[in-house]
Amino acid sequence: MQHALDLARPYAPLILALVVWPIVGAALSWWLWWDTPEHWEAYAKAHPGRALAIRALRTVSPHLRKLVVAWRDYAAARSSLPPLGVALPAEKTGAIVVSETRPVAHPTPADGVAFDAQRVALGAVTVDPAKGDGQRGSVDLPGLLTCLIAAILAGALLAGCPVVREVAMRAAPGVPDPVDCRPGVQRCDGLAPVVCSASGREWPSLPRSASGEPRTCAPGVCVVSDGGVAHCALAADGGGL
């Protein structure tokens, strides 16, 4: 396992970028999806900063929901339209779906005749822009549940995978690097008692101060007892380091 980790170590950024981030980004993108352009525009107007962050997230994340919508529209067009009528309505349906991502491109009820005519022309296969079909939802329940399930699965996958744990530990500042130590053995690292873990890391037994500085035995010393326990002692006690 250690050999495999050593091999994988140079690729940790790639693993994070190509595996971890796409999963997390896709889940978030799925979740942050508004039902209608109106909802989205109202939200963006009320929270321009959040809207910017969400757009930025969508830009750099896989957008699986668009794929699902496209596939559903494709399947609906193929299954429910008469052969000769497929081409035009299907194109228009697709055009509306696409236009919904562009706030100025589609008609609104205020446009009156054009809006109604478009709905009539498209008939049963037309997606009603006002009701939406999963486009830009205001955090709908199925989407949320899907996101939660995906997050739980991803979390369980990540937490249960030794390689992911190891990568996380190596990336985290403050987590000791692996050294050549025997699990369970304690020793003094200068003025700090340390304990060797199963992964070969020497963890200090004294915590950090609130500012992040490591605590030490000073003004005392660090000693190892006959029982093999490393600990602080008063300077007068002496003891072998």
Partner 1 sequence: MSAIPVDLALRIIRRRADAAGVELILPGDPRRDAIVSLVALGHSVQGTGVTRAHVAEGVTVTLPGVPGPAAVLLAAIPYVGGALAALAQAAGRTSVCLSPAALATGEGALATWWHEEGHCGSIARGGLIYCGAYLLAPEVRAGGEAPCYGNGMAVRVATGSDVDDAARQALASLESYGLDDDARALARGIVASAAETIRATGDHGGVVAELRAELAAEGWVL
Q: Which residues bind partner 1 (CB under 8 A)?
A: 28, 31-32, 49-50, 53-54, 56-57, 139, 144, 152, 158-159, 164-165, 168-169, 171-176, 183-184, 186, 193, 195, 197-199, 201, 203-213, 215-218, 220, 225, 229-234, 237
Q: Shortest approach of partner 1 to residue 119 CB, angstroms?
A: 32
Q: Which is nearer to partner 1, 41 or 115 (CB)?
A: 41
Distant-in-sequence, close-in-space partners of 158: CB < 8 Å, separation ≥ 6: 20, 164, 168
H-assigned helices in the chain? 2-8, 12-15, 21-31, 37-46, 48-59, 64-80, 87-99, 113-122, 141-160, 162-171
Q: What angle do CA 179, 180, 181 make, to 5 degrees?
A: 100
Q: Shortest approach of partner 1 to residue 72 CB, angstroms?
A: 25
Nearest to 57 by CA among 16, 24, 34: 24
Q: Which is nearer to partner 1, 119 or 231 (CB)?
A: 231
Q: Which is nearer to partner 1, 81 or 194 (CB)?
A: 194
Q: Which is nearer to partner 1, 125 or 206 (CB)?
A: 206
Cβ atoms < 10 Å from Cβ of 165: 13
Q: Shortest approach of partner 1 to residue 141 CB, angstroms?
A: 9
Q: Shortest approach of partner 1 to residue 179 CB, angstroms?
A: 14
Q: Shortest approach of partner 1 to residue 193 CB, angstroms?
A: 5
Nearest to 200 by CA among 218, 220, 217, 180: 180
